[in-house]
A and B are shown apart, each in its own frame.
Chain A
Amino acid sequence: MKKSFPFEFLVILTPLLLAQTTKADITPHLAAIQAVEKEGKGNKAASAAWQKLSAASADDLVTILGAMDHAGPLASNWLRSAVDVISDRATAGGSGLPVTDLGEFLLDTNHSPKARRLAFDLIQSADATTADKLIPGMLMDPSPELRRDAVARLISDGNALMEANAKDTAALVYRQALNGARDVSQIQEIAAQLEKLGRTVDLPKHFGFLMHWNVIGPFDNSGRAGFDQVFPPEESIDLSAEYNGKRDKVKWVEFVTADPFGMVDINKAFGMEKEATAYATTEFLSTSARPAELRLGSKNAWKIWLNGELIFGRDEYHRGAAIDQYQLPVSLKEGKNTLLVKLCQNEQTETWTVEWQFQLRICDSTGTAILAADRPATPTEGTNLQQAPNRRKAQP
């Protein structure tokens, strides 16, 4: 009887053959994935590369994670899902994951924070005890997510000390946690505990909120047209100038906020305006030319310029605000940097549409505050917050 090729053998053999893809072999696949662009460009090549890459062995995981160092968010997701497939297969097949290699990758802070976090997750899935041992060392890690775990550990330690009535030690543990904390909810939790213990926390400084501004307005925003309209402050910032505003002449006034989260409440300067546009400007003295992030939160329409360059703008009104709502990568120049924020209030009259405010901080990509070389002391409640002379008195 003539034997035919056993199909079952082919089914078993194919994945094994594919799994023999070597590190050298995956380089072009990684390159194809790293080349994906916006609007789906490069998807076809990435898809073909992904099929081959996901057949690689667990020994290639560190190389794939390393490729995330040079991958944007889209390419990173391609790579991440290949890592999922490879690690699942290695785990299910019993070969396990290269925990030590992954650990060394994790501990090399030159790698992408997101790739290192993924390496940590893989270690945790393979060897929870080892992962647990690594957590305390992550307190000042460049990866905010890795820090978060270390901070959570310290908060838990602090809470246990509080329960044991060891308040002095708890205060120090909380302070240690605060030094590492970049996550807003954790910072708020720690600050609350420290304040209970009678310790002060300079939240604006911790976050890097900008507290000292000059503001001008109101200009018009009838029919929400002010967002696109170019008012004089967009053409040049002259703090001594006077312009035609929505109703009267308007001029720049100094405005200082003492809000713990740096909220610049424009209503405090101009009254409860509707259909109005305001500008706020400040200067930031940077000790060096460096990359940074402007992190802005606002529920009003806004635009922001750095050194005369429009960074971003958004015309959404009253859908919610949060610290770090918008994270805008920028380059600071050494010395004086000028920031200009345009803030538009719309026509809505519901009680939840009263706010006309923003908060802005400057930090690095991990959320660590970058402080101006000449940052003044943080204003405290009771600071004289100057109001504009043309402030609207009546409520709308």
Chain B
Amino acid sequence: MKTYVSLLLLGLTLPPLLTADDWLQFRGPDASSVAAGGTTGLPTTLSAQDNIAWEMALPGKGLSSPVIVGDKVFVTCSSGPDQKRLHVICFHSTDGKKIWERTFLASGRTMCHDKTAVAAPSPVSDGKNIYALFSSNDLFCLDLDGNLQWLRGLTQDYPNASNSLGLASSPVLVDQCFIAQIENDSESFVAGIDTATGENVWKISRPKAANWTSPVIFEDGGKRLVGLQSSKGLLAVDPATGEEVWNFDGGASTIPSSGVGGGLVVVPSNGLTALKLNGGKPEQIWQEAQLRPGTASPVIVGDRVFVLNSAGVLNCADITTGERLWRLRLKGPYGSSPVAAGNYLYFFDEKGGAQVVDISEPGEVEGKIVGEMDLGEMIQCTPAIGDGALFVRSNERLWKLTGNSGDLPKP
């Protein structure tokens, strides 16, 4: 009996077992867009026949990315008149079977542009809970089994915190703090919320201007910081307090977000601006007008940065100098950001097209499109990589894409 009770208590107190295969937030680990778990099992050539492991119908619209924890895939949707119904759904990664679904009603405004959705911000997980934020500023914390832990209605709390075109910033988690960037023309703020209770730990005022960018996380001077981008630039704050650590005030885009990797932050500012993190005010090491991102956020892979412009041209540049190495025309148009795994970049466009670009050749050798397929529905979601597969969603369905025997081996 004692043994059983001990085992039970141990099970209740164990920290969540996160793996490199998890994809816990918008653009994955530290919002870098780069899979930590490499490419095993992922498709490189693409065909509907060989690479769609399964597809599942969704109950509503959404631009939000799936989140993957172990063998569970979490997706948010909005449905019904005025998209007032908010869904958080858990699927089994193996077969796509729905494990649970929770439906809520929006307590904040749901008006948004036709092209976006109330389920625009991506959920985020710490491996123990899933935190689902919607454009209506409704925020739900559920455990991985769908048990509600707490909720907030941020427009109930702060009645002018909304954007009539819709909010889209995806939140991040650092330690026990959930960080939501609720920036708009009126009541603009960023809040750090206690993941245990759902209460504010801190709240800071932000520029009164619409902003759809998402925070990034980076290590600077041995401490994890959160970068908050806006039209003013990039503000680095201490995630525990919301206090400013440093501020880059060179202005920045309000649609594509910054990229992180290799001790650098690349900010969509005057094209693209690279900041080297050094524990104090970062050093601007280059600024390149030719590397202006469209809607998609830049991705740093090794010693190169990849930028997709508004014309659907992929630019590859040297991360140390900003010098452009090559360009490659892709299809597009793009509402989503690319993600990387190993030497492959994955792109999904608004016409439902998917493309895989092999970037294994160094220097000025242009990347190669090695895989293409048509999913036939508008895709604005940034895909997720986890459990040896790619997961991507449209307004109607969720797909799991895996490699076939000719692709990279499954784990």
Chain B residues with Cβ under 8 A from A76's Cβ? 105
With A47-B150, A145-B81 as given contacts, are A40 and B165 in contact (CB-CB < 8 Å)? no
Q: Which residue in chain B gives the minimum CB-CB distance to A317?
A: B185
With A40-B152, A321-B164 as given contacts, are A316 and B186 in contact (CB-CB < 8 Å)? yes
A77 to B142, CA, bound (A): 12
A4 at the interface (CB under 8 A from B): yes
A50-106 interface with B by 8 A CB criterion: 50-51, 54, 72-74, 76-78, 80-82, 84-85, 88
A299 at the interface (CB under 8 A from B): yes
Give 1 or 0 for each of A326-345: 1 = CB within 8 Å of chain B CB: 10000000000000000000
A199 at the interface (CB under 8 A from B): no
A41 at the interface (CB under 8 A from B): yes
A361 to B238, CA, bound (A): 46
A10 at the interface (CB under 8 A from B): yes
Give 1 or 0 for each of B163-174: 1 = CB within 8 Å of chain A CB: 111000000000
With A43-B150, A314-B186 as given contacts, are A320 and B113 in contact (CB-CB < 8 Å)? yes
B1 at the interface (CB under 8 A from A): yes
A43 to B157, CA, bound (A): 14
A46 at the interface (CB under 8 A from B): yes
A252 to B7, CA, bound (A): 78
Count of B interface residues, CB-CB < 8 Å: 46
Chain B residues with Cβ under 8 A from A46's Cβ? 150
* Top 7 A-B pairs, shortest CB-CB distance: A73-B107, A40-B199, A319-B164, A7-B4, A43-B150, A5-B1, A40-B198
A78 to B103, CA, bound (A): 10
Q: Which residue in chain A gives the minimum CB-CB distance to B3?
A: A4
Chain B residues with Cβ under 8 A from A241's Cβ? none
Binding site for A on B (CB under 8 A): 1, 3-4, 7-8, 80-81, 100-105, 107, 109, 111, 113, 138, 140, 142, 146-153, 156-157, 159-160, 163-165, 184-186, 193-194, 197-200, 208, 210
A322 to B152, CA, bound (A): 26
A259 at the interface (CB under 8 A from B): no
Min Cβ gap B78→A in Å is 14
Asked whether, in the complex, the Cβ of A4 is within 8 Å of the Cβ of B4, the reply is yes
Give 1 or 0 for each of A148-186: 1 = CB within 8 Å of chain B CB: 100000000000000000000000000000000001000
With A85-B147, A320-B111 as given contacts, are A73 and B153 in contact (CB-CB < 8 Å)? yes
A80 to B146, CA, bound (A): 13
A320 to B198, CA, bound (A): 31
Name the one of B3, B81, B165 contacting A320, with C-beta atoms under 8 angstroms.
B165
Asked whether, in the complex, the Cβ of B200 is within 8 Å of the Cβ of A39, the reply is yes
A319 to B112, CA, bound (A): 9
Other A-B contacts than A73-B107, A320-B165, A326-B109, 18 sampled, CB-CB below 8 A, are: A4-B3, A40-B152, A40-B198, A40-B199, A43-B150, A47-B148, A50-B147, A50-B148, A73-B153, A80-B103, A183-B81, A316-B164, A319-B164, A319-B185, A320-B111, A322-B111, A322-B164, A325-B109
With A51-B147, A77-B138 as given contacts, are A40 and B197 in contact (CB-CB < 8 Å)? yes
A144 to B80, CA, bound (A): 12
A40 to B138, CA, bound (A): 12
Chain B residues with Cβ under 8 A from A320's Cβ? 111, 113, 164-165
Q: Which residue in chain B gives the minimum CB-CB distance to A76?
A: B105
Asked whether, in the complex, the Cβ of B199 is within 8 Å of the Cβ of A319, the reply is no
Asked whether, in the complex, the Cβ of B105 is within 8 Å of the Cβ of A80, the reply is yes
With A76-B105, A145-B80 as given contacts, are A43 and B198 in contact (CB-CB < 8 Å)? yes
Asked whether, in the complex, the Cβ of A114 is within 8 Å of the Cβ of B185, the reply is no
Chain B residues with Cβ under 8 A from A319's Cβ? 163-165, 185, 210
| Interface of chain A, main secondary structure | helix
A393 to B111, CA, bound (A): 35
A133 at the interface (CB under 8 A from B): no
Give 5 pairs: A residue, B residue, CB < 8 Å, sorted on A: A5-B1, A39-B199, A40-B200, A84-B101, A315-B160
A5 to B6, CA, bound (A): 13
With A5-B1, A84-B101, A316-B163 as given contacts, are A78 and B81 in contact (CB-CB < 8 Å)? no
A1-56 interface with B by 8 A CB criterion: 4-5, 7, 10, 38-41, 43-44, 46-47, 50-51, 54
Chain B residues with Cβ under 8 A from A81's Cβ? 102-104, 140, 142, 148
Q: Which residue in chain B gives the minimum CB-CB distance to A5?
A: B1
Q: Which residue in chain B gives the minimum CB-CB distance to A36?
A: B151
Asked whether, in the complex, the Cβ of B147 is within 8 Å of the Cβ of A77, the reply is no
Q: Which residue in chain B gives the minimum CB-CB distance to A316?
A: B185
Min Cβ gap A297→B in Å is 9
A257 to B84, CA, bound (A): 31
Name the one of B107, B109, B147 contacting A74, with C-beta atoms under 8 angstroms.
B107
A314 to B194, CA, bound (A): 29
Give 1 or 0 for each of A258-299: 1 = CB within 8 Å of chain B CB: 000000000000000000000000000000000000000001
Chain B residues with Cβ under 8 A from A82's Cβ? 148
Min Cβ gap B371→A in Å is 38
Chain A residues with Cβ under 8 A from B7's Cβ? 7
Chain B residues with Cβ under 8 A from A322's Cβ? 111, 164
Min Cβ gap B6→A in Å is 11
Asked whether, in the complex, the Cβ of A148 is within 8 Å of the Cβ of B81, the reply is yes
Asked whether, in the complex, the Cβ of A73 is within 8 Å of the Cβ of B185, the reply is no
Chain B residues with Cβ under 8 A from A114's Cβ? 105
With A41-B199, A43-B198, A47-B148 as given contacts, are A84 and B103 in contact (CB-CB < 8 Å)? yes
Asked whether, in the complex, the Cβ of A44 is within 8 Å of the Cβ of B197, the reply is yes
Q: Which residue in chain A gives the minimum CB-CB distance to B107?
A: A73
